[in-house]
Chains A and B, each alone.
Chain A
Amino acid sequence: MLGEGIIKGMVETARNFVGSYSDPERLTTVEYPEDKIPAKENARNFPFLVYDGDDAARGLRCVACQICEKECPPKCIYIVKSKDKKPDYIGKPQFYPAVFDIDVSVCMSCQICVEVCPFEAIKMDTEFELSNPDRFGGLLQDKHRLAKSNEYYHKIHETEAAEVDARLAAEKAKAEAKARADAEAKAAAAAKAATAAATPKPAPNPTTVAPAK
């Protein structure tokens, strides 16, 4: 009959109305500034720089390669490369960013900087309360404010951070193995050269002089 559906609907809304008073479980509202739901693991808002260890200045993974600066669609990243080098996590001397600024008001949270970084140095944060009373200095975040520890990264993106750590560890192990092999080969060559020098022969033998590699 005509009007039956409207009556059913009105009963349903009345049930909601009464139920929302008697049963607080029905209410989906979270009263935000007082109550907060923890951020979802896949949430992303604004990039930060990852550092290893305790010292943000020494442990920063960024090597100032400036790929992110070039790829950033709204051009919100500003990097100045250092003059000197310092060792990275493998121990290889690398440049580091003397200046690394990101403008909060320009960033569009696209995550492209994270996708292009070959050094796992820049990642997305879940922090979203970035408002600031100072609209110039307060919104331009420098590398001291951007630097956050690897532990923090593990806390907000657990799965992703574990993958990154495994990859970095594998690379480090590979690099160390290679370095060890290189060192051994070098040592062997040096030893050979030393023995060759110690037993002087008028005519050089090509098989003994040949490099070990």
Chain B
Amino acid sequence: MIIGEFFRGLFLMIWRVATDQPEAKADLLAVFPPSARPVISAVLTVSPIIGIFATLFALTTLLERKGLGRIQNRLGPNRVGPFGILQPVADGLKMLTKEDIIPRSADALVHFLAPVVLAVPTILAFAVLPYGRNLVPVDMDAGILFFFAVGASTELAIFMAGWSSRNKYSLLGAMRAIAQMISYEIPLIISSVSVIMIAGSLSPVEIIAQQGRYLAGGFVPHWFVLTPWGLAGFIMFLIASLAESNRSPFDIPEAESELIAGHLTEYSGFKYALFFMAEYFGMFAVSGLAVTLFLGGWHAPFEFLEIVPSYVWFFAKLMGLVCLFIWVRGTVPRLRVDQLLNFAWKFMLPLSLLNLVVAAVWHFTAAWEFPGAGLGRWLLGAVMIGVPYVWLGRALSGSKKITQRTYRFAD
């Protein structure tokens, strides 16, 4: 009898998740004794998240290799399975069967712990993202704060990896990673503070709820990215999140042409796979946050499309951002360390601080009542952020003149 109840509960859970209904786990949990329910509930929440994002990770590695290949007029992997779709399986098997090497002079304990310490916060960050209308693993009031808190702790793991390897490349890579991640943490957080200011809440669920309205007869969503401060904040958030997830053009911590693989140099086998996975998980998490903050979370772009299950929209937007990251990786060459830090401190930081002011002006002009007020405040915000952008861009890059280089001894 209890087995029948179990399967009924399981089926109801899957059905309710698929159709966006609340309280999906209730019937399945009722089968278990009350003392076991919290643990079972946690397992039921965590395992799909890890499963889905591990699958997305595999798909993204393939998508990235295929996409980069096409961007460079190559075919990309096409040997394993039809059109190479089994390539992630082959990569995974290769990683798992490789020898796990620990350098003789490495700090064995820290060397072992670093990938674990990296993987845990990247998975923890998934806890506060709302994946659908009723799909929030942990509905936390200070969810955004929690996200940035666990996200910042990945820097510790990267430095542990670099330090414990006892390798000059690893240490240099880790130093660069620390400099880069601390520098870009600031614009990342400040650009998301503008959203928090407007929404008046640190809760991701509340922020998404505020973007759930539609204007112009249901064809213009009320997403924050469609406001001047939101657009600027979104772009700065994307740039900073590229740097946070160590992706090209900000991949200087693992610049293969300079540092072999940075902090990954001495890692092999499954530990390397963990680092690799954590990097992609970090990218998913930060893209998920960008979707939550600026792109309306799980809301559909048009009102009549709200009948499509909400999680479809969340993952569609997430994969859209991931594709944008791949596109940027295929286009932009790597920055130098000084360019990277100059960009963070001289350009991103002032603009993101200014963006706070623009968001404040937007907030206080909401009461404007004269005709054309909506367009007027949009233009005001756009000018307030656009003019300093152009001016700062000229001031920082205009001083250098590119001249014909002459080679005195080579001609």
Contact = CB atoms under 8 A, between A and B. Distances in A.
Contact of A28 (B73, B328, B389, B390): B73
B153 interface: no
B70 A17 contact: yes
A137 B389 CA distance: 70
Contact of B73 (A2, A3, A26, A31): A26
A12 B390 CA distance: 23
Interface in A1-37: 1-3, 6, 9-10, 12-14, 16-17, 19-21, 26-29, 31
> How many B residues touch the partner, as a band?
10 to 19
B15 interface: no
Contacts of B397: 2
B332 interface: yes
A2 B327 contact: no
Contacts of B327: 10, 13-14, 17
A13 B330 contact: yes
B75 interface: yes
Contacts of A26: 73
Interface string A123-144: 0000000000000000000000
Contacts, number: 47
B282 to A, nearest CB: 23
Given A1-B393, A2-B389, A2-B397, A9 B332 contact: yes
Given A6-B331, A28-B74, 14 more contacts: A1-B393, A1-B394, A2-B396, A3-B393, A9-B331, A9-B332, A13-B71, A16-B70, A16-B71, A17-B67, A17-B70, A17-B327, A17-B330, A28-B73
B71 A27 contact: no
B55 interface: no
A22 to B, nearest CB: 11
B72 interface: yes
A26 to B, nearest CB: 5
Interface string B376-411: 000000000000011011101100000000000000
B67 A27 contact: no
Interface string A155-193: 000000000000000000000000000000000000000
